[in-house]
Structure 1
Amino acid sequence: MKNAAVAIACALGLIALTCAGLLTGLETVFLDANRYTALMDELDVYPDVGLSREEQVLVNGDLAAYLAGRSDSLDRRVTLRGEAVESPFNDREKRHMADVRRLFRWGLNARALCAAAGLALMAAGLLFGKRRARRWGVLLALGLMTAAAVAVIAALRRADFNALFIRFHELVFTNDLWLLDPATDAMIRMLPEPFFEGMAAQGGVAAILGALAAFLGGALLLNIPGRRKKNP
């Protein structure tokens, strides 16, 4: 019974740590202003946005800092479509970005919680469990996460990105502030659907790499031999 409890604790700990790695991978992409700029260069959004590339680079830095919680303002004096403005974003866009920042904060808190819970459960396994039980925990975690990954990949292959994008916004936001108009809202011109497709692809790769790194690190940690009893 004790071995089963240790295996389950180690499996849950390893899954939590892997989730923390996954969220870290996503963070490295979605909070990277340089990635914003690289995708915007590829899509050549600047004529549609109405900002020079130089000013857009500064705005991208503002967006990343705001979402990461390093800044509380999106205001910056720029020339938008030939007119000097105090901010590239209007009130509706700013309110939507406040919602987005809360979502990022939840993600960062979830990452910290997963990391703490994962390390605590794994530490318990190392202190109280035998190596064999911990190895069973690794195999259990691997099996569960493989099944989950297969299910997610199968669902994504059958889904349309636009439909997923809309459904995601309907699920996580309780208002319609995310429904922006290209005629009046610069943000949707800066961040068209192909931009989000590119970010999602990069984020997916980074999430997989982060999850793999966390899983392998945790699995190696759980494979540390226990202390041998000394013969009298």
Structure 2
Amino acid sequence: MKKYSKAIGAAAAILWIMFWITAVILQIAGDGHLMEAEMMQCAPPETTGLAAAEYPGIVDMTTGYLTGRIAEFQYTVTDSAGQNAPCFHDYEAAHMADCRALISLDRTVMILAGVSALVLTAAVLLRGNRERFCRGILTGLRIMGGVLAALLIWALADFTGLFVTFHKAAFPNGGWLLNPQTDLLIRLMPLDFFIRLGIRGAMRALAMPILLEAAARAGIYRTRNKEQKP
């Protein structure tokens, strides 16, 4: 165990960051207040054709569907003739079913990464070399930092390209290709909506690497001080 403490530390750091990023995604997917605020900012009633009074209901339905609280993705409004009219086409609901499956996968990855990171961390703290483990955490942070920095540079240079590439990989059936002229879903969630959510998510995600860096350096410092004591 002591021999591999540094490698285990690097793996643990990567797993902790994966846990935190997936947790942030899950939290944002269920945050109705945030979603409504960003919709009103990026997709106001004058561009969507949806009355402002309907936004809270449609957001509650959306977040509830993504997190599994609501079984069906559909919202009805009362038209000028007093009839209930559905807001979304079947293919829009089908795309949101794909999104919910992705959120479900995100939840599974979060649990697996969190449990694995906790087990590795506990094992080394109990039986491994703590200083080497802490140095491994710093190595893992550098690895993940490089990967995330590359994604950040891509996003800053061409967010649309990153967005399209992700959707092609995640939704190969093409269900994400919607028409703003006919489809309310894309009018409610234009590209700017995802850019703003991405920025908020990135800011929240920074908490874990900062915490890991501080904890690892504190661990190295304490271990050295303990070794220097007579």
TM-score of the superposed pair, with normalisation by structure 2: 0.85
Aligned-pair CA distance for 1:156 = 3.0
Stretch moving more, 178-187 or 203-212: 203-212
Whether 1:175 aligns to 2:176 is no
- For residues 79-123 of structure 1, the C-alpha deviation after alignment (integer angstroms, 9 at most, x for no partner) is 368874343211111111000100111111101110011011111
* Matched letter for residue 167 of structure 2: H
Paired position in structure 1 for 2:145:
146
Paired position in structure 1 for 2:101:
102
Which stretches in structure 1 are left out of the alignment for 5+ residues?
A: none
Asked which structure has the greater RCO (Cα within 8 Å, sep 6+), the reply is 1
Paired position in structure 2 for 1:113:
112
| CA distance, structure 1, for counterparts of residue 140 and residue 80 of structure 2 | 53
Paired position in structure 2 for 1:193:
191
Q: 1:82 to 1:154 in 2, by over 3 A?
A: farther
Tell me the SS of whatever aligns to 1:168.
helix
Aligned-pair CA distance for 1:184 = 2.0
- For residues 148-176 of structure 1, the C-alpha deviation after alignment (integer angstroms, 9 at most, x for no partner) is 33333333333x12222111111111212
Q: 1:177 to 1:151 in 2, by over 3 A?
A: closer
Aligned-pair CA distance for 1:54 = 1.6
| CA distance, structure 2, for counterparts of residue 105 and residue 129 of structure 1 | 34
- For residues 117-144 of structure 1, the C-alpha deviation after alignment (integer angstroms, 9 at most, x for no partner) is 1011111111211222222222322332
Whether 1:19 aligns to 2:18 is yes
RMSD of aligned C-alpha atoms? 2.6
Q: 1:222 to 1:99 in 2, by over 3 A?
A: farther
| CA distance, structure 2, for counterparts of residue 162 and residue 112 of structure 1 | 30
Stretch moving more, 35-44 or 97-106: 35-44
Contact 1:40 1:190 in 2 (8 A): yes
| CA distance, structure 1, for counterparts of residue 99 and residue 80 of structure 2 | 26
- For residues 65-86 of structure 1, the C-alpha deviation after alignment (integer angstroms, 9 at most, x for no partner) is 1101111122333136887434
Paired position in structure 1 for 2:155:
156
Identity of aligned residues (%): 26
Q: 1:175 to 1:140 in 2, by over 3 A?
A: same
Tell me the SS of whatever aligns to 2:2.
helix
- For residues 45-80 of structure 1, the C-alpha deviation after alignment (integer angstroms, 9 at most, x for no partner) is 212322211212110111011101111122333136
Q: 1:149 to 1:76 in 2, by over 3 A?
A: closer
- For residues 189-212 of structure 1, the C-alpha deviation after alignment (integer angstroms, 9 at most, x for no partner) is 111122122112212212223453
Which stretches in structure 2 are left out of the alignment for 5+ residues?
A: none
Whether 1:51 aligns to 2:42 is no
Stretch moving more, 189-198 or 63-72: 189-198
| CA distance, structure 2, for counterparts of residue 87 and residue 220 of structure 1 | 56
Paired position in structure 2 for 1:207:
205
Tell me the SS of whatever aligns to 1:3.
coil
Stretch moving more, 132-141 or 115-124: 132-141
Aligned residues: 223
| CA distance, structure 2, for counterparts of residue 55 and residue 210 of structure 1 | 36
Contact 1:12 1:141 in 2 (8 A): yes
Contact 1:50 1:82 in 2 (8 A): no
Tell me the SS of whatever aligns to 2:151.
helix
